[in-house]
Structure 1
Amino acid sequence: MARDIVIWPHKVLTSVTQPVKDFGPALEKLLEEMAESMAEAKGIGIAANQVGESLRVALVGREDGTFFEIVNPELLERTGKVTLEEGCLSVPDEWEKVPRFEKVKVRYQDKTGQWHETEAEGRLAHVFQHEIDHLDGHVFVEHLSSLKRTLIQERMKKLQKSLKRKKD
Protein backbone atom coordinates (compact mmCIF):
# COMPACT_ATOMS: atom_id res chain seq x y z
CA MET A 1 0.00 0.00 0.00
CA ALA A 2 1.34 3.41 -0.94
CA ARG A 3 2.24 5.73 1.91
CA ASP A 4 1.74 9.47 2.06
CA ILE A 5 4.76 11.47 0.97
CA VAL A 6 6.17 13.81 3.60
CA ILE A 7 6.35 17.48 2.57
CA TRP A 8 9.50 19.53 3.24
CA PRO A 9 10.48 21.10 5.68
CA HIS A 10 9.24 18.20 7.87
CA LYS A 11 11.86 17.17 10.46
CA VAL A 12 12.23 13.61 9.09
CA LEU A 13 13.55 15.14 5.84
CA THR A 14 16.16 17.28 7.59
CA SER A 15 17.64 14.55 9.79
CA VAL A 16 20.29 11.99 8.88
CA THR A 17 18.74 8.54 8.41
CA GLN A 18 19.79 5.42 10.31
CA PRO A 19 21.69 2.54 8.68
CA VAL A 20 19.68 -0.59 7.91
CA LYS A 21 20.73 -3.58 9.99
CA ASP A 22 17.73 -5.88 9.49
CA PHE A 23 17.43 -7.24 5.94
CA GLY A 24 14.20 -9.10 6.56
CA PRO A 25 10.51 -8.88 5.68
CA ALA A 26 10.10 -5.38 7.14
CA LEU A 27 12.65 -4.00 4.65
CA GLU A 28 10.94 -5.85 1.79
CA LYS A 29 7.57 -4.35 2.81
CA LEU A 30 9.06 -0.85 3.08
CA LEU A 31 10.59 -1.12 -0.41
CA GLU A 32 7.23 -2.25 -1.84
CA GLU A 33 5.41 0.64 -0.18
CA MET A 34 8.05 3.10 -1.38
CA ALA A 35 7.74 1.78 -4.95
CA GLU A 36 3.95 2.17 -4.81
CA SER A 37 4.25 5.70 -3.40
CA MET A 38 6.80 6.66 -6.06
CA ALA A 39 4.67 5.22 -8.88
CA GLU A 40 1.52 6.92 -7.59
CA ALA A 41 3.35 10.26 -7.51
CA LYS A 42 5.00 9.62 -10.90
CA GLY A 43 8.50 10.00 -9.45
CA ILE A 44 11.88 8.70 -10.59
CA GLY A 45 13.28 8.18 -7.11
CA ILE A 46 12.26 8.14 -3.48
CA ALA A 47 14.01 7.88 -0.12
CA ALA A 48 12.59 6.14 2.94
CA ASN A 49 12.40 9.36 4.93
CA GLN A 50 10.07 10.75 2.26
CA VAL A 51 7.49 8.22 3.49
CA GLY A 52 8.31 8.89 7.15
CA GLU A 53 10.90 6.14 7.77
CA SER A 54 14.28 7.39 8.96
CA LEU A 55 16.20 4.53 7.35
CA ARG A 56 19.05 4.60 4.83
CA VAL A 57 16.99 3.15 1.94
CA ALA A 58 16.10 4.62 -1.45
CA LEU A 59 14.86 3.75 -4.91
CA VAL A 60 16.72 5.26 -7.87
CA GLY A 61 14.94 5.15 -11.22
CA ARG A 62 16.65 4.12 -14.43
CA GLU A 63 15.55 5.48 -17.80
CA ASP A 64 13.97 2.12 -18.73
CA GLY A 65 11.48 2.44 -15.86
CA THR A 66 13.19 -0.04 -13.54
CA PHE A 67 15.00 1.09 -10.43
CA PHE A 68 17.90 0.37 -8.12
CA GLU A 69 16.96 -0.59 -4.56
CA ILE A 70 19.80 0.97 -2.59
CA VAL A 71 20.40 0.31 1.09
CA ASN A 72 23.13 2.02 3.14
CA PRO A 73 24.58 3.78 0.06
CA GLU A 74 27.75 5.83 -0.05
CA LEU A 75 29.27 7.92 -2.81
CA LEU A 76 32.78 6.64 -3.54
CA GLU A 77 33.75 8.90 -6.44
CA ARG A 78 32.46 12.15 -7.93
CA THR A 79 33.74 13.73 -11.13
CA GLY A 80 32.78 16.54 -13.48
CA LYS A 81 30.08 19.14 -13.04
CA VAL A 82 26.64 19.36 -14.62
CA THR A 83 23.51 21.39 -13.92
CA LEU A 84 20.14 19.75 -14.57
CA GLU A 85 16.58 20.60 -13.64
CA GLU A 86 15.38 18.81 -10.52
CA GLY A 87 12.13 18.36 -8.72
CA CYS A 88 11.19 16.39 -5.63
CA LEU A 89 8.17 14.44 -4.45
CA SER A 90 8.54 16.17 -1.06
CA VAL A 91 8.65 19.60 -2.73
CA PRO A 92 5.81 19.17 -5.24
CA ASP A 93 5.46 21.37 -8.32
CA GLU A 94 8.82 23.06 -7.77
CA TRP A 95 11.51 22.63 -10.44
CA GLU A 96 14.91 24.30 -10.37
CA LYS A 97 18.32 23.86 -11.99
CA VAL A 98 20.69 22.18 -9.54
CA PRO A 99 24.46 21.73 -9.91
CA ARG A 100 25.71 18.22 -9.22
CA PHE A 101 28.54 15.92 -10.21
CA GLU A 102 28.30 14.56 -13.75
CA LYS A 103 29.56 11.07 -12.85
CA VAL A 104 29.42 9.14 -9.60
CA LYS A 105 30.45 5.75 -8.28
CA VAL A 106 28.11 4.40 -5.60
CA ARG A 107 28.50 1.51 -3.18
CA TYR A 108 25.31 0.12 -1.67
CA GLN A 109 23.62 -2.99 -0.37
CA ASP A 110 20.59 -4.64 -1.94
CA LYS A 111 17.58 -5.84 0.05
CA THR A 112 19.37 -9.10 0.90
CA GLY A 113 22.43 -7.30 2.31
CA GLN A 114 24.76 -8.03 -0.63
CA TRP A 115 27.16 -5.20 -1.51
CA HIS A 116 27.28 -3.69 -5.03
CA GLU A 117 29.10 -0.88 -6.77
CA THR A 118 27.78 0.98 -9.78
CA GLU A 119 28.85 3.94 -11.85
CA ALA A 120 26.34 6.43 -13.17
CA GLU A 121 26.43 9.57 -15.26
CA GLY A 122 24.03 12.24 -16.46
CA ARG A 123 20.43 12.06 -15.20
CA LEU A 124 21.01 8.75 -13.35
CA ALA A 125 23.98 10.24 -11.46
CA HIS A 126 21.76 13.21 -10.59
CA VAL A 127 19.06 10.93 -9.17
CA PHE A 128 21.59 8.93 -7.11
CA GLN A 129 22.92 12.16 -5.61
CA HIS A 130 19.43 13.54 -4.99
CA GLU A 131 18.30 10.41 -3.12
CA ILE A 132 21.54 10.05 -1.14
CA ASP A 133 21.16 13.73 -0.17
CA HIS A 134 17.74 12.82 1.27
CA LEU A 135 19.30 10.05 3.33
CA ASP A 136 21.83 12.56 4.64
CA GLY A 137 19.02 14.91 5.70
CA HIS A 138 19.22 17.30 2.74
CA VAL A 139 16.68 18.42 0.14
CA PHE A 140 17.53 19.82 -3.32
CA VAL A 141 16.36 23.31 -2.37
CA GLU A 142 19.45 23.62 -0.16
CA HIS A 143 21.44 23.94 -3.40
CA LEU A 144 19.44 27.07 -4.34
CA SER A 145 19.83 30.71 -3.34
CA SER A 146 18.45 31.64 0.06
CA LEU A 147 15.72 33.75 -1.60
CA LYS A 148 14.47 30.86 -3.77
CA ARG A 149 14.72 28.46 -0.84
CA THR A 150 12.68 30.80 1.41
CA LEU A 151 9.97 31.31 -1.22
CA ILE A 152 9.66 27.57 -1.82
CA GLN A 153 9.61 26.89 1.92
CA GLU A 154 6.70 29.31 2.37
CA ARG A 155 4.75 27.55 -0.40
CA MET A 156 5.46 24.14 1.16
CA LYS A 157 4.30 25.28 4.61
CA LYS A 158 1.02 26.44 3.06
CA LEU A 159 0.69 23.09 1.29
CA GLN A 160 1.34 21.23 4.57
CA LYS A 161 -1.44 23.22 6.25
CA SER A 162 -3.92 22.56 3.45
CA LEU A 163 -3.12 18.83 3.45
CA LYS A 164 -3.57 18.71 7.23
CA ARG A 165 -6.98 20.41 6.92
CA LYS A 166 -8.06 17.84 4.30
CA LYS A 167 -7.14 14.97 6.65
CA ASP A 168 -8.94 16.50 9.65
Structure 2
Amino acid sequence: MARDIVIWPNKVLSTPTKPVTDFGESLTKLLDEMFEAMKEAEGIGIAANQIGVPLRLSWVGREDGTFFEIINPQILEKSGPVTLEEGCLSVPDLFEKTPRFHKVKVKYQDRTGAWHELEAEGKLAHVLQHEIGHLDGFVFVDLLSGLKRGLAMEKMKKLQKALKRRKNEDE
Protein backbone atom coordinates (compact mmCIF):
# COMPACT_ATOMS: atom_id res chain seq x y z
CA MET A 1 0.00 0.00 0.00
CA ALA A 2 1.33 3.41 -0.97
CA ARG A 3 2.05 6.01 1.67
CA ASP A 4 -0.41 8.88 2.05
CA ILE A 5 0.40 12.17 0.38
CA VAL A 6 0.74 15.05 2.87
CA ILE A 7 -1.74 17.86 2.20
CA TRP A 8 -0.61 21.50 2.34
CA PRO A 9 -0.40 23.46 4.67
CA ASN A 10 1.42 20.79 6.66
CA LYS A 11 4.61 21.93 8.41
CA VAL A 12 6.74 19.21 6.74
CA LEU A 13 6.03 20.90 3.39
CA SER A 14 7.23 24.32 4.56
CA THR A 15 10.44 23.12 6.21
CA PRO A 16 13.65 22.72 4.18
CA THR A 17 14.66 19.06 3.93
CA LYS A 18 17.88 17.49 5.19
CA PRO A 19 20.61 16.17 2.86
CA VAL A 20 20.68 12.44 2.15
CA THR A 21 23.86 10.88 3.57
CA ASP A 22 22.91 7.17 3.63
CA PHE A 23 22.85 5.63 0.15
CA GLY A 24 22.00 2.12 1.37
CA GLU A 25 18.96 -0.15 1.40
CA SER A 26 16.81 2.29 3.39
CA LEU A 27 17.17 4.84 0.57
CA THR A 28 16.12 2.27 -2.03
CA LYS A 29 13.07 1.33 0.07
CA LEU A 30 12.10 5.00 0.48
CA LEU A 31 12.48 5.66 -3.26
CA ASP A 32 10.25 2.66 -3.99
CA GLU A 33 7.59 3.89 -1.54
CA MET A 34 7.71 7.38 -3.03
CA PHE A 35 7.40 6.02 -6.56
CA GLU A 36 4.40 3.89 -5.58
CA ALA A 37 2.67 6.88 -3.93
CA MET A 38 3.36 9.07 -6.98
CA LYS A 39 2.04 6.50 -9.44
CA GLU A 40 -1.08 5.81 -7.36
CA ALA A 41 -1.80 9.56 -7.28
CA GLU A 42 -1.04 9.83 -11.03
CA GLY A 43 1.68 12.42 -10.46
CA ILE A 44 4.63 13.49 -12.60
CA GLY A 45 6.92 14.01 -9.63
CA ILE A 46 7.07 13.67 -5.87
CA ALA A 47 9.38 14.91 -3.12
CA ALA A 48 10.11 12.90 0.03
CA ASN A 49 8.49 15.51 2.28
CA GLN A 50 5.23 14.95 0.39
CA ILE A 51 5.02 11.58 2.15
CA GLY A 52 6.23 13.08 5.43
CA VAL A 53 9.95 12.29 5.13
CA PRO A 54 12.12 15.44 5.46
CA LEU A 55 14.96 14.25 3.22
CA ARG A 56 16.33 15.93 0.08
CA LEU A 57 15.20 13.51 -2.62
CA SER A 58 12.57 13.44 -5.31
CA TRP A 59 11.26 11.62 -8.37
CA VAL A 60 11.00 13.68 -11.56
CA GLY A 61 8.94 12.79 -14.62
CA ARG A 62 10.20 13.27 -18.16
CA GLU A 63 7.97 14.13 -21.10
CA ASP A 64 8.34 10.57 -22.46
CA GLY A 65 6.64 9.18 -19.32
CA THR A 66 9.81 7.86 -17.67
CA PHE A 67 11.08 8.97 -14.26
CA PHE A 68 14.41 9.47 -12.53
CA GLU A 69 15.41 10.25 -8.97
CA ILE A 70 17.27 13.36 -7.87
CA ILE A 71 19.04 13.36 -4.52
CA ASN A 72 20.54 16.44 -2.87
CA PRO A 73 19.74 18.58 -5.96
CA GLN A 74 20.90 22.14 -6.49
CA ILE A 75 19.77 24.55 -9.18
CA LEU A 76 22.98 25.99 -10.63
CA GLU A 77 21.46 28.24 -13.32
CA LYS A 78 18.03 29.39 -14.45
CA SER A 79 16.95 31.57 -17.34
CA GLY A 80 13.98 32.64 -19.39
CA PRO A 81 11.21 33.61 -16.97
CA VAL A 82 7.93 31.95 -17.93
CA THR A 83 4.47 31.51 -16.40
CA LEU A 84 3.05 27.99 -16.51
CA GLU A 85 -0.05 26.27 -15.19
CA GLU A 86 0.91 24.15 -12.24
CA GLY A 87 -0.68 21.68 -9.84
CA CYS A 88 0.60 19.55 -6.98
CA LEU A 89 -0.17 16.22 -5.33
CA SER A 90 -0.13 18.03 -1.96
CA VAL A 91 -2.62 20.64 -3.20
CA PRO A 92 -5.11 18.40 -5.03
CA ASP A 93 -7.51 19.75 -7.64
CA LEU A 94 -5.94 23.21 -7.73
CA PHE A 95 -4.18 24.51 -10.84
CA GLU A 96 -2.82 28.03 -11.15
CA LYS A 97 -0.50 30.02 -13.41
CA THR A 98 2.86 30.07 -11.63
CA PRO A 99 6.10 31.97 -12.36
CA ARG A 100 9.03 29.67 -13.21
CA PHE A 101 11.99 29.56 -15.60
CA HIS A 102 12.08 27.99 -19.06
CA LYS A 103 15.59 26.60 -18.66
CA VAL A 104 17.54 25.28 -15.66
CA LYS A 105 20.85 23.59 -14.96
CA VAL A 106 20.72 21.18 -12.02
CA LYS A 107 23.35 19.21 -10.13
CA TYR A 108 22.13 16.11 -8.23
CA GLN A 109 23.06 12.64 -7.01
CA ASP A 110 21.52 9.31 -7.97
CA ARG A 111 20.75 6.40 -5.61
CA THR A 112 24.40 5.26 -5.72
CA GLY A 113 25.66 8.69 -4.64
CA ALA A 114 27.13 9.53 -8.07
CA TRP A 115 26.85 13.21 -9.08
CA HIS A 116 25.22 14.33 -12.34
CA GLU A 117 24.53 17.64 -14.06
CA LEU A 118 21.50 18.16 -16.25
CA GLU A 119 20.39 21.06 -18.42
CA ALA A 120 16.65 21.02 -18.96
CA GLU A 121 14.06 23.22 -20.58
CA GLY A 122 10.32 23.28 -20.98
CA LYS A 123 8.26 20.76 -19.03
CA LEU A 124 11.26 18.94 -17.52
CA ALA A 125 12.68 22.24 -16.24
CA HIS A 126 9.25 23.02 -14.80
CA VAL A 127 9.01 19.69 -12.93
CA LEU A 128 12.58 20.02 -11.63
CA GLN A 129 11.85 23.49 -10.22
CA HIS A 130 8.61 22.29 -8.64
CA GLU A 131 10.22 19.29 -6.92
CA ILE A 132 13.36 21.15 -5.80
CA GLY A 133 11.04 23.85 -4.44
CA HIS A 134 9.41 21.20 -2.24
CA LEU A 135 12.83 20.16 -0.95
CA ASP A 136 13.60 23.82 -0.13
CA GLY A 137 10.35 24.07 1.88
CA PHE A 138 8.11 25.72 -0.72
CA VAL A 139 4.89 24.67 -2.41
CA PHE A 140 3.80 26.28 -5.69
CA VAL A 141 1.01 28.16 -3.89
CA ASP A 142 3.76 30.12 -2.09
CA LEU A 143 4.41 31.78 -5.47
CA LEU A 144 0.79 32.94 -5.85
CA SER A 145 -0.87 36.16 -4.71
CA GLY A 146 -1.96 36.37 -1.07
CA LEU A 147 -5.62 36.14 -2.09
CA LYS A 148 -5.16 33.00 -4.18
CA ARG A 149 -2.96 31.44 -1.49
CA GLY A 150 -5.60 32.18 1.16
CA LEU A 151 -8.37 30.61 -0.93
CA ALA A 152 -6.19 27.55 -1.55
CA MET A 153 -5.48 27.24 2.18
CA GLU A 154 -9.20 27.29 3.04
CA LYS A 155 -9.87 24.58 0.46
CA MET A 156 -6.98 22.38 1.67
CA LYS A 157 -7.94 22.72 5.36
CA LYS A 158 -11.47 21.52 4.49
CA LEU A 159 -9.94 18.61 2.57
CA GLN A 160 -7.66 17.74 5.52
CA LYS A 161 -10.70 17.64 7.86
CA ALA A 162 -12.65 15.46 5.44
CA LEU A 163 -9.71 13.05 5.04
CA LYS A 164 -9.26 12.85 8.82
CA ARG A 165 -12.98 12.17 9.30
CA ARG A 166 -12.89 9.45 6.62
CA LYS A 167 -9.83 7.84 8.21
CA ASN A 168 -11.51 7.81 11.64
CA GLU A 169 -14.61 6.20 10.12
CA ASP A 170 -12.47 3.48 8.51
CA GLU A 171 -10.81 2.56 11.82
Report matched runs for 1:15-34 at 5 Å: 15-34=15-34
The offset of 1:69, in angstroms, is 0.3
- Is 1:11 matched with 2:11? yes
2:130 alignment counterpart: 130
The offset of 1:2, in angstroms, is 1.3
| TM-score, reference length from structure 1 | 0.99
1:94 alignment counterpart: 94
Deviations 1:131-163 (A, max 9, x none): 000000000001111000000000000100110
Aligned residues: 168
Deviations 1:19-58 (A, max 9, x none): 0000001110111111111110110000000000000000
- Is 1:2 matched with 2:2? yes
Cα distance in 2, alignment partners of residues 35 and 142 from structure 1: 25
Report matched runs for 1:61-80 at 5 Å: 61-80=61-80
The offset of 1:81, in angstroms, is 1.1
SS of structure 2 residue aligned to 1:80: strand
Cα distance in 2, alignment partners of residues 85 and 160 from structure 1: 24
The offset of 1:64, in angstroms, is 1.2
The offset of 1:65, in angstroms, is 1.2
Cα distance in 1, alignment partners of residues 161 and 13 from structure 2: 17
In the TM superposition, structure 1's runs of 4+ consecutive aligned residues that sit over 2 Å from their partners are none
Cα distance in 2, alignment partners of residues 76 and 54 from structure 1: 22
Cα distance in 1, alignment partners of residues 83 and 29 from structure 2: 35
Cα distance in 2, alignment partners of residues 117 and 40 from structure 1: 29
Cα distance in 2, alignment partners of residues 82 and 147 from structure 1: 21
Report matched runs for 1:98-117 at 5 Å: 98-117=98-117
1:54 alignment counterpart: 54
The offset of 1:83, in angstroms, is 1.0
Cα distance in 2, alignment partners of residues 34 and 122 from structure 1: 24
Cα distance in 1, alignment partners of residues 88 and 29 from structure 2: 23
Cα distance in 2, alignment partners of residues 39 and 97 from structure 1: 24
SS of structure 2 residue aligned to 1:93: strand
Cα distance in 2, alignment partners of residues 82 and 106 from structure 1: 18
The offset of 1:164, in angstroms, is 0.6
Residue identity matched to 2:45: G
Tell me the percent identity.
71
Q: Which runs of 5+ in 2 are unaligned?
A: none
Cα distance in 2, alignment partners of residues 78 and 10 from structure 1: 28
Q: Which runs of 5+ in 1 are unaligned?
A: none
Cα distance in 1, alignment partners of residues 149 and 165 from structure 2: 24
